[in-house]
Structure 1
């Protein structure tokens, strides 16, 4: 089926196996949204600087008990020692939550310990020792404000090689963005690099426009007038809300599995788990 022949409704294709991202503070919201989220859904747990590891471990346990698949983040530069990483993985293993993880470098400019970047964690041998079987690594379809594009591409190549060498399953989870065209072009280059792993496209869940713009600024995501207009909201309508309907429809119309491979959607909920779950439930029913 060619891209132009694809069903472009938001409920088709891309939403068949979505994932969510929450913080340890979002558990109550997640519990209240359980009925609207398919069992087995992947739920990522962010690695916040102001949260103790026990908060993330507790979140992973709750997520698993709710019938979902916990996917804890590991932030390389926030780890003060290899012992801290081992302790964290051991605690996650104790609640059955190490099979799937996300490994990122993290925001600090200087590492708190021995891990300079995510590659250092991936090659250290700690992950497989604690039962990790699948790893998500980061991708930046619209670039990174502090890292040159070619450095980002080399990082993906290096991490892919390291994961393949350990025979670990892996996928690439992207930063959220507003420009579907940029995402598709990035996927095409990724496939051109010979990287055929599944890609989880980061998408903001429905939220207030001001909140979306704040997060965009925080994470260096382009939010120019032309880009956000494509997404479906105007900078003059700051008091309104915006959802991902147009963005996902644009992706759906452009994605051809024969060319782009396995493409999934990963929702950044930004504290709105119930709103995101309801949006997905409605879109999948259309």
Structure 2
């Protein structure tokens, strides 16, 4: 047993408590297979993709709820074509009993399809509360955004957390995934210094092929230098293998200081591999529990 791993095991296990997962509306069959490995009540975010319609998103939310988990449907502000489309979605979620939690994001379109320029505009409508939403997730970008300047990102997170509080809504920040714990924790510390005490869910890439991880990283502006890749545990010159986030999680645990970083949780991006991620999480949690048990029992006499 690695002594560093053993020392960080209790903190890793603490971070893994109440971790959340992500799925698309097309992953319902994977959820059926993976459900026995996912702790009851787990928050499962349901993405708002342009090639998935309202019916698919509602079916996914109902499946998440039916299996004893907490559905967190995404709402992409710039993809909404009209106020009536937002009302239709929220009313359908309320009718299904899947209305308590949502995640709001600006979305990919450079030009809004309708009246909402960004997620802040949507939050300020008051429609979320009107249709039963009580908890709202918003985005955070520890390594910046390829299309949005840093000052704009900081203004956005401050304005959104203020708007949620003023609207009587609870919330958390879900960060973009990364491969290096240092910039993530530095960013969280800055968030706290700016007076934002909202819980932060650190985005973690689920186990995936290195080529796929690199593709997503390039798309979202995530740093992937040779030194970062080495710290994470893969090589950017060899894309044939797979990689899991074990080194990243242990690095987070080693550097996490609740006094400076506040409440931290984890959010796993599954990249279409909900089954693989839930299996990896189950195995990793078991390994960490074993390491903690060994550390507590001490050396054999």
Matched, 1:73 2:74: yes
1:227 is matched with 228
Deviations 1:198-224 (A, max 9, x none): 000111100100111111122222222
1:211 is matched with 212
2:89 is matched with 88
**Structure 2 unaligned regions, length at least 5:** 289-301
2:294 is matched with none
In the aligned structure 1, how far is the partner of 2:120 from the partner of 2:21? 24
Shift of 1:168: 0.7
- Asked whether the 8 Å contact 1:145–1:220 carries over to 2, the reply is yes
Shift of 1:167: 1.5
**Structure 1 unaligned regions, length at least 5:** none
Deviates more, 1:163-172 or 1:252-261: 252-261
Shift of 1:72: 0.3
Deviations 1:54-91 (A, max 9, x none): 11111000100011000000000000000000001111
1:61 is matched with 62
Q: Hey, which bits of structure 1, 4+ residues long, moved more than 2 A?
A: none
2:8 is matched with 8
In the aligned structure 1, how far is the partner of 2:33 from the partner of 2:125? 38
Deviates more, 1:270-279 or 1:55-64: 270-279
Instruction: Within 5 Å, give how 1:183-222 maps onto structure 2.
Output: 183-222=184-223
Shift of 1:258: 2.2
Taking only aligned residues, the RMSD between alpha carbons, in angstroms, comes to 1.5
- The alignment's TM-score, normalised by the length of structure 1, stands at 0.96
Shift of 1:268: 0.4
- Asked whether the 8 Å contact 2:126–2:167 carries over to 1, the reply is no
In the aligned structure 2, how far is the partner of 1:101 from the partner of 1:226? 36
1:157 is matched with 158
1:115 is matched with 116
Matched, 1:264 2:257: no
In the aligned structure 2, how far is the partner of 1:264 from the partner of 1:228? 23
In the aligned structure 1, how far is the partner of 2:167 from the partner of 2:96? 24
Deviations 1:218-261 (A, max 9, x none): 22222222222221111122100000000000001111112211
1:39 is matched with 40
**Secondary structure, counterpart of 1:72 in structure 2:** strand
- Asked whether the 8 Å contact 1:102–1:136 carries over to 2, the reply is yes
Alignment size in residue pairs: 283
In the aligned structure 2, how far is the partner of 1:53 from the partner of 1:157? 30
Matched, 1:124 2:125: yes
- Higher-Rg member (1/2): 2
**Secondary structure, counterpart of 1:54 in structure 2:** helix
In the aligned structure 2, how far is the partner of 1:258 from the partner of 1:31? 39
> Higher helix proportion, which one?
2
In the aligned structure 1, how far is the partner of 2:114 from the partner of 2:276? 38
Deviations 1:167-212 (A, max 9, x none): 1101000111111100000000000001011000111100100111
**Secondary structure, counterpart of 2:8 in structure 1:** coil
- The alignment's TM-score, normalised by the length of structure 2, stands at 0.91
Shift of 1:7: 3.9
In the aligned structure 2, how far is the partner of 1:44 from the partner of 1:282? 22
